[in-house]
A and B are shown apart, each in its own frame.
Chain A
Amino acid sequence: MSWFQFATRHRASIASLVVLVFPLVMPFTALAVNILIYGLYALGFNLVYGYLGLLSFGHAALFGTGAYLCGIAIVHFALPWYAAIALGILGGLLMAALIGVLAIRTRGIYFAMVTMALSQCVYYLFYQAVDWTGGENGLRGINVRVIDIFGIKLNFINPLTRYYVIAAFVIAAFFVLSRILASPFGAVIEAVRENETRAKASGYDATVTRLITFVLSGGFCGLAGALQALHLSIVPIEILHYDTSGVVVMIALLGGMGTFFGPMIGAAAFLLLENLVSVWTVHWQLIVGAVFMICVLFFPAGIWGTLISRGKP
């Protein structure tokens, strides 16, 4: 079989291998962790935009809810780390269900607008709930020093240990996502995107499909948020702002929508670009914005999308 088919068959494994050696090539480990987390966030987003074709401008609400629930679990309820992460995932799923139910009947541009408006409401609500979220100062104190796995104590403060713990979750997410896409449901998602009327005629409920996909997306984004909370040991309120929704759109496009490796590559490209350009000039937004525009104009399939379309047999 061609290399492309091989890569597709074993995509989760290949992605995992890259993740394992990744920190060795990054300027500093915390950046590598950020790339993982934003990559996972973009992976969740990609499920809705790349595979389903729905542009959402409110994904920050899913990412942020996951982060806050994980943080609140640790700071206010002193729950162990694994319970906090589970709560983060749950938070993402529930918030996605809530927003999804309200937004899913709208289409096209309006879907983008509703999701943006609803996510702004979430932002203001979390902002006001100062006792739980710390409000404008953010939620501090998510200090997990030791990760206890069945008696083995890992030092979470050590940068490399922290990376590999988080990587473990991201790798698990890869496999879950790959399974979903390869499953019959994955085919339905594509069917709905390609030709909705036909899919409906074949007996699939397009609206329900969209909602389920959106909720699943929330799960991945919620996990990413929870990991972010643990990594930075804070949850800043900015995580819920529409800028964060905009960032994931840029990352998904940069990497290549509707592809498996695209989101991760996009996250790496975006964050590395931001990091490197920041060292050289304070005007990094100019470069990042220009690169993004060039992608939209000339490389709409993103970095990875363009590469595979060139290399496809």
Chain B
Amino acid sequence: MAGLSLDLIALQLFAGLALGAIYVLFAIGLSLIFGMLTVVNFAHGAFYMVGAYVGVYILMLGGDFWICLIAVPLLVGLFGVAVERVLIRPLYGRGIDYPLLLTFGLSYVMVEFVRIAFGKTGFPFDTPEILQGAVNIGVGYFPLYRLFVIGATATVLLALWLFLEKTSFGLIIRAGARDPQIVRVLGVDVARVWLIVFGIGTAIAGFAGLLAAPLQGVIPEMGGTILAEAFVVTVVGGMGSIGGAVLAGLLVGVVVSMTSLFAPEMAKVSIFALMAVVLIIRPQGFFGRAGLMS
């Protein structure tokens, strides 16, 4: 094949990591919410999209990208908290399907709201000036902004790890992920914990949407495809496992990147096939909880 060299493969790998970074952020939220609340958030893609649009709105008001980095996760997280409190909480105890179905309907509503408020065609989202251009990373030129995305993701992961490992609240979350019953018995206000976890999960999704905006622009439908792909990541990594989401996210990003090199038409099929294989052989993925029943 023309032009195939070690340099190209290395460059492709880097591209895969950058792609994977967005998957990781998106999947972490999904995994957290499932691990703690046992809720499959079908509206996660919509939250991702809302994050991007909140960014657009802040820019319209005259703010800059750096303010967005702080404001977007905060605002989206608050919205997520409201959704959990008002729409999802009434459904606990009714069966594992109901929150899934509710978030499924919610995604339709959120997307349409955004269409009404911002129009159907979407917006271009310029890469912030400082981050424009490409740098020589040794094996070739790579866009600076994508390096930033990898870096931002790593920062968020570090912050999340510190939160989970080093704070008492993080301890509760980890305990709750392992055994929700005991945590309740120990007197912890589980409802409040779930509220906050849902907020954190959606905040990270919104942040991912903001990061993705300069890469592909912003349209109301942007949450749809990534949701399907993120399900692959969460399943392969294991629902409820952060480490699994990270590993699987990067893996999926690299797999897509590499199949694009050799057989681009197969890129999409390859990840769904991967998902099916994992589900059949080892349904809990790399690190998920085994035996999750309805």
Q: Which residues of A contact B (CB under 8 A)?
A: 53, 55, 102-103, 105-110, 112-114, 116-118, 120-121, 124-125, 128, 242, 246, 249-250, 253, 283, 285-286, 288-290, 292-293, 296-297, 300
Contact = CB atoms under 8 A, between A and B. Distances in A.
A117 B275 CA distance: 7
A150 B40 CA distance: 53
Contacts of B105: 250, 289-290, 292-293, 296
A296 B294 contact: no
Nearest to A295: B105
B294 A286 contact: no
Nearest to B40: A109
A283 B109 contact: no
Chain A contact surface mostly: helix
Interface string B104-126: 11111101110110000000000
Given A107-B292, A125-B269, A285-B111, A246 B104 contact: yes
Contacts of B34: 109
A124 B101 contact: no
Contacts, number: 110
Interface in B81-136: 87, 90-91, 94, 96-98, 100-102, 104-109, 111-113, 115-116
A101 to B, nearest CB: 10
A110 B38 CA distance: 12
Interface of B: 34, 38, 40, 87, 90-91, 94, 96-98, 100-102, 104-109, 111-113, 115-116, 228, 231-232, 235, 239, 265, 268-269, 272-273, 275-276, 279-280, 283, 292-294
Among B90, B98, B105, B273, max chain A CB count under 10 A is at B105
Nearest to B224: A243
A64 to B, nearest CB: 15
A109 B100 contact: yes
20 contacts: A53-B294, A107-B293, A109-B294, A110-B235, A112-B100, A113-B235, A113-B275, A121-B273, A121-B276, A128-B265, A249-B104, A250-B105, A283-B115, A285-B112, A286-B113, A289-B109, A289-B112, A290-B109, A292-B108, A296-B91
Contacts of B96: 108-109
Contact of B279 (A106, A292, A293): A106
B57 to A, nearest CB: 19
Contacts of A117: 231-232, 235, 272, 275-276, 279
Contacts of A102: 276, 280
A127 to B, nearest CB: 9
B106 A289 contact: yes
B225 to A, nearest CB: 11
A255 to B, nearest CB: 14
A286 B265 contact: no
Contacts of A55: 97, 100
B276 A242 contact: no
Given A117-B276, A124-B269, A253-B101, A108 B294 contact: yes
Nearest to A291: B105
Contacts of B94: 300
Nearest to A55: B97
Nearest to A113: B235
A108 B294 CA distance: 4
Nearest to A121: B272
Contacts of B38: 109
A78 B49 CA distance: 47
B292 A109 contact: yes
Contacts of A292: 101, 104-105, 108
B102 A296 contact: yes
Contacts of A107: 292-294
Given A128-B265, A297-B90, A116 B294 contact: no
